[in-house]
Amino acid sequence: MATTAPAVPAPSLHEKLLRIWETPPGLFGVLATVDHKKIGKRYLATAFLFLLLGGLEAAVMRAQLARPDQHLLTPEAYNQLFSMHGITMIFLYASPILSGFSNYIWPLILGSRDMAFPRLNAFSYWVFLVSGIFLYSSFLIGQAPDRGWFAYAPMTGSTYSPGLNMDFYALGLILLTISTTVGAINFITTLFRLRAPGMSVNRLPIFVWGTLTTSFSMLFALPALTVACVMLYFDRRFGMHFFDASTGGHPMLWQHLFWIFGHPWVYIIVLPAMGLMSDLIPTFCRRPLVGYTYVALATVATGILGFGVWVHHMFSTGLPAMSTDFFSAASMVISIPSAVAVFAWLATIWHGRPVMRTPFLFAAGFIVLFVIGGVSGVVTAAVPFDWQVTDTYFIVAHLHYVLVGINVFPVIAGFYFWLPKMTGRLLDERLGRWNFWTMFIGFNLGFFPMHIAGLLGMPRRVYTYPAGLGWDTVNLISTIGSYLFAIGVLLFLINVFWSLRRGRVAGPNPWDGPTLEWAVSSPPPAYNFALLPTVGSRHPLWEERLNEPGSRSRITEGPALVEGRETLGVSPLDAQANEVLTMPEDSLYPFFLALSLLVTFYGLLTGAWALAIVGGVLVLVMTVGWLWPSAPVEEASP
């Protein structure tokens, strides 16, 4: 089976390509690299660090809520913690961790050598990092955002929030949207231009469909957040009145803008993870995904419908029944594409021969949690019942089943699945099983009782609660369960660090996976593919054995492109090679541009306009330096 063997290039070619593609060691290399694999790993590590920080915040809150009337935290401290927990998990963990996987995996799975805009890619990471640092620096002066991640006006205005807390929020998120927007543009362009020849859109892995849909959603959803945050900052800093009802503004403007962004965002942080599951489950069921076309369409449909459901966050704001009913219906309809995906996975399991490795365990657990989070979502789409459960712990339970179930579980599955590709070593299976069961049992023990707390009338975002309302036991169980879940996450970390030293050597394709990332060595060389492959089916490494009709993929032969950093450009839909693209060299500009933005934003934060102007000039200088042509621009040949 020639096609399933990894492409081991001739030593001379290997050396030649390494010289072209490898980032030089040392500080310059660290700051200047544009290698998507390095950037991807940084995204993963940074986002995981934020997961741990957000988890720590949650652990402190759960200690406070374990018993009624406790005084471990002041109300103000609790309010900062729950706000930062939300901001961290939603913005600094859930989306960037998926960007990390996509960054690392995309060029490999697409059979290319890098992302379309490698420098923009580096810039996207650096801005993500500095926005996280910016947001967390608020703790240093004890003024972390404290109005919730949803930050409803007018409580965020200077009247009711005089400190810098919400300036950190508004500016930190504006900074982050820059990172996310350029990241989305990069993924979209990469998809349409930098695939292996022959990888037409009907041959894309579902994971790619997920990230692609998400990237489009980001481009349409993020402007609403950016504009809302700019308005908030202007209201606070310059005394404008966008959200001030007494002068003709309106607080509902914030809610609409925020949720027009906010609900698509929920799909943004689950669709790539669902896509990952759609590729991982077939690998461990030893067969292609059942209903590929249905699942791909369901992914896109979810992304589009995600823009039509935002008002279901606002059913109790007194909107007329006509509009709430429309959004109620839309919120129910959007569960149909999800049901399609669930039954595609079920069919794949039933028609396959599942192997109980750790990634599959997490995938199976994910399906169950996904369904619980999904049906509790449908329940809350019913307007009259939502009037009762909205803003209670029922919603806290629901959203954690969605976000932990559909993001964290697939992410851990993704690590067990792809980390061997990144490090060359497998994680331990035995510890992996302990890891799964601790997380799964801990999660359900911690979060299922929150449904009940909500039905018993316990509101969200309370720093304490009185005894005697029937909330004591469920809260104690939640705390115990959430700590068990945290132990599960620690087991995962132990497994990762153990595997780096002692893990079994993975080889190029430890799971006998079907897609191109498994055709290169683990870890892959800086240039990814020595000879750029051509794709003939959805499962390049399985097609011989599946005996699929049609053409065959070519993994071990193809153009080498050794004239510099070069890769193939293809036509958007059919993926016909039509250009050799020259990719940029490593550069310090992305790093320094991100740093300049940070300086500017600290100036805006504190009202130190001189600092902001210095930062702004630096931004301009770095941008010009970045775009300065290094060689005369040649006329593009047709």
Segment 74 to 93, residues that bind other proteins, using CB under 8 A: 74-76, 79
* Rounded Cα–Cα distance for residues 554 and 536 (Å): 8
Nearest to other proteins of 131, 143 (CB atom): 143
* Nearest CB to other proteins, comparing residues 45 and 469: 469
The contact pattern for other proteins, residues 124-163, with x = CB under 8 A and - = no contact, is -----------------------xx---x-xx----x---
Query: Minimal distance in Å, beta carbon 231 to other proteins?
Result: 16
State the number of binding residues for other proteins (CB under 8 A): 94
Nearer to other proteins, 249 or 424 (CB): 249
Token readout for 360 is: 């599959």
Give whichever of 104 and 149 is closer to other proteins, judged by the CB atom. Answer: 149
Measured between its terminal Cα atoms, the distance across the chain in Å is: 39
Considering only residues 497 to 516 of the shown chain, the ones binding other proteins according to CB under 8 A are: 511-512, 514
According to CB under 8 A, which residues from 538 to 557 bind other proteins?
A: 539, 542, 545-546, 548
Query: Which pair of tokens denotes residue 556?
Result: 């071990």
465 binding other proteins? (CB under 8 A): yes
**Phi/psi at 568 (5° precision):** -90, 140
Query: What is the smallest separation between the CB atom of 286 and other proteins, expressed in angstroms?
Result: 5
| Choice between 188 and 333, CB closer to other proteins | 333
How does DSSP assign 556-592, residue by residue?
S-S----SSSEEEEE-TTT--EEEEEEPPPP-SHHHH
Residue 24, CB-side half-sphere exposure with 13 Å CA sphere: 8
Cβ-based nearer residue to other proteins, 316 or 623: 316
Question: Counting contacts by CB under 8 A, is residue 252 touching other proteins?
Answer: yes
Q: Which pair of structure tokens corresponds to residue 199?
A: 């990888």
- Shortest spacing between CB 196 and other proteins, in angstroms: 20
> Site residues for other proteins, window 584-623 (CB under 8 A)?
none
The Cβ of residue 392 has, within 10 Å, a number of other Cβ atoms equal to 20
322: Cβ contacts below 8 Å, ≥ 6 apart: none
Please report, to the nearest 10 degrees, the dihedral formed by the alpha carbons of residues 500, 506, 511, 515 taken in order: 100
Cis peptide before 75 (omega within 30 of 0): no
Verify binding: residue 288, other proteins, rule CB under 8 A.
Answer: yes
339 φ, ψ to 5°? -65, -35
**Residue 405 structure tokens:** 């179930």
| CA–CA distances in Å: residue 137 to residues 83, 143, 179, 622 | 15, 9, 18, 24
Q: 378: Cβ–Cβ under 8 A, 6 or more apart, which residues?
A: 331, 332, 335
Among 130, 229, 269, 285, binds other proteins (CB under 8 A): 285
Contact 234, 242 (CB under 8 A): yes
Q: For the CB of residue 455, give the shortest distance to other proteins in the complex, in Å.
A: 6
CB of 362 to other proteins, least distance (A): 12
396 lines the binding site for other proteins (CB under 8 A):
no
H/E segment holding residue 361: helix 358-381
Closest CB to other proteins among 354 and 525?
Answer: 354
CB of 71 to other proteins, least distance (A): 10
- Of 43 and 471, CB closest to other proteins: 471
Q: How far is CA 306 from the centre of its chain?
A: 16
Nearest to 115 by CA among 59, 229, 195: 195
- Nearest distance, CB of residue 160 and other proteins, angstroms: 6
Quick check: 63 binds other proteins (CB under 8 A)? no
Smallest gap from Cβ 375 to other proteins, in A, equals 4
Among the residue ranges 206-214, 242-250, 415-423, 475-483, the one whose residues contact other proteins (CB under 8 A): 242-250
Query: Considering only residues 11, 318, 550, 638, which one is a binding residue for other proteins as defined by CB under 8 A?
Result: 318
Q: Which of 202, 317, 473, 578 binds other proteins (CB under 8 A)?
A: 317
In the bound state with other proteins, the residue whose beta carbon lies nearer, of 126 and 393, is: 393
At its nearest, how many Å lie between other proteins and the CB of residue 34?
Answer: 35
DSSP 8-state symbol, 200? -
Residues 325-384 that bind other proteins (CB under 8 A): 325, 328-329, 332-333, 335-336, 339-344, 346-356, 360, 364, 367-368, 371-372, 375-376, 378-379, 381-384
Q: What element of type H or E holds 569?
A: strand 566-570
At residue 570, what are phi and psi to the nearest 5 degrees?
-125, 170
Compute the least distance from the CB of residue 46 to other proteins, in Å.
29
For 8, the 3-state DSSP assignment is coil
Shortest CB 85 distance to other proteins, Å: 13
Q: Using CB under 8 A as the criterion, what x/- string covers residues 558-587 for binding other proteins?
A: ------------------------------
Run of H or E residues at 17 = helix 11-21
